[in-house]
Amino acid sequence: MNFRFTGKQKTLALGVYPAVSLAKARKRRDEARELLAEGIDPGKAKRDDKQAKIAAAAFTFETVARTWLGKTAANRAESTQEKNTAWLERNIFPFIGSMPISDIKPKDVLAALSKIEARGAIESAHKIKQICGQVFRFGVATGLAERDVTADLRGALSAVPKAHYAAITEPKQAGELMRSIHAYTGHPYAVAALKLSPLLFVRPGELRSAVWMEIDLDAAEWRIPGEKMKMKIDHLVPLSTQAVEILRDMQAMTGHGKYVFPSIRTGERCMSENTVNAALRSMGYSKEVMTGHGFRAMARTIMDEVLGERIDLIEHQLAHAVKDPNGRAYNRTAHLPARREMMQRWSNYLDKLRMGADVLSLRAAN
């Protein structure tokens, strides 16, 4: 097609026959004339479109996802960063990682997520869908994607089954568990983490990612920064004398590094998320009986129903949202002396259970 633009004679190639039919050539000619009528050079528009497609092909989902992971790393705990990266590498990149992010359709993401769902990992499928959505939204913000296609997948995955973490909440069984823990002869790091789990009853991810800079053994305090916490608020854990003793033993082994519980393979990462649960399994406690997270329920139930501790102190120590009488959230040091005494009483009680002292059953519900 010959045309003039800004006084210059130009030629636009519409395609090669027979790959481009006469009808298709006429359609492209008409589109070019519409551009000319709007004062746009159809030749330049064609070149720009070609360059845009080449650029889009270079920005694959994996490329954009890794850029997003790097730019947002400071917003999440290191252990979460590692988990999110591993999830994408194992479950998403093999299927849509090489596709230009602008070309990906909802069905492409769903196909990858359905494979996770088929393994029975329904909760993981939902979490990975959320991560993909964040990648797409980053792509939209940077002009690499038109929209977050995961928004179209609402209701496409099975609902996450409601389940509570298995936990031992009867004092007698808790005493048996404590004896099993103190008889456990696994790796020293796992032994220490296992012993601290019932004493501190923090979330498993918070325990395994603990760093020495957060812990003051002389003051008997562990200050967990908000970015590691589920509620994103700084949390203070008073350390009983039993907990301090365990941590001093660990300091002799790992105090020269960053993590209290480093990976056995490399000190650059913290302990695996499966370590405590694997230790419980090796001790004969199935996942239907006790989990690492279950130490929280064990502490909450027994401290409330057997020891009669104040429920607001227990909830505060569990890092749950607790409001003062005026509806304001307590700060991390609220009721610290009382919480310190409560944590020491709890450690002493666990020692008594372990040594076979008389125990009280849970109070019957009114």
pLDDT at 364: 45
From the number of C-beta atoms within 10 Å of its C-beta (0-12, 13-18, 19+), residue 334 rates as middle
| In a domain? residue 73 | yes
pLDDT tens per residue, range 36-49: 888 888 888 888 77
CA dihedral 340, 342, 348, 352 (to 10 degrees): -170
Please tell me which residue in 28, 296, 339, 354 is annotated as part of the active site.
Answer: 296
Mean pLDDT, all residues of the chain = 88
My answer on whether 275 and 199 are in the same domain is: yes
pLDDT at 365: 43
How many CA atoms does the CB half-sphere of 147 hold within 13 Å? 6
Average pLDDT over residues 309-323: 84
Beta bridge partners of 221: 216, 238
Instruction: For residue 83, give its domain range.
Output: 61-153
DSSP per-residue codes, 295-348:
HHHHHHHHHHHTS---HHHHHHHTT---B-TTSPBP-TTTTHHHHHHHHHHHHH
My answer on whether 179 and 283 are in the same domain is: yes
Sequence-ordered alpha helix ranges (H) in the chain:
22-37, 42-58, 61-71, 78-91, 93-96, 106-118, 122-141, 171-183, 188-200, 204-208, 241-254, 275-282, 294-305, 311-317, 336-354
Number of domains in the chain: 3
| In a domain? residue 275 | yes
pLDDT at 326: 53
Please tell me which residue in 195, 293, 300, 354 is annotated as part of the active site.
Answer: 293
pLDDT at 329: 53
My answer on whether 52 and 94 are in the same domain is: no
Tokens of 283: 């001790």
Please tell me which residue in 230, 232, 287, 363 is annotated as part of the active site.
Answer: 230
| In a domain? residue 122 | yes
Element (DSSP H or E) covering residue 216: strand 215-216
pLDDT at 55 over 80: no
My answer on whether 220 and 343 are in the same domain is: yes
My answer on whether 231 and 301 are in the same domain is: yes
Alpha carbon 326 to chain centroid, angstroms: 33
Domain boundary among 120, 153, 186: 153
% of the chain exceeding 70 in pLDDT: 91
My answer on whether 176 and 37 are in the same domain is: no
Q: Please give the Cα distance from 203 to 235 (Å, whole number).
A: 12
Q: How confident is the model at residue 189 (pLDDT cuts 50, 70, 90)?
A: very high
DSSP per-residue codes, 74-85:
GGS-HHHHHHHH
My answer on whether 214 and 312 are in the same domain is: yes
The answer, as to whether pTM is greater than 0.75, is no
| In a domain? residue 96 | yes
Task: Write down the residue that tokens 């993909």 correspond to.
Answer: 132
| In a domain? residue 235 | yes
My answer on whether 143 and 108 are in the same domain is: yes
Q: Please give the Cα distance from 100 to 135 (Å, whole number).
A: 13
Q: Tell me, yes or no, if 164 is annotated catalytic.
A: no
My answer on whether 259 and 234 are in the same domain is: yes
Beta bridge partners of 236: 223
Q: Tell me, yes or no, if 320 is annotated catalytic.
A: yes
My answer on whether 221 and 291 are in the same domain is: yes
My answer on whether 273 and 339 are in the same domain is: yes
Q: Tell me, yes or no, if 330 is annotated catalytic.
A: yes
My answer on whether 263 and 343 are in the same domain is: yes
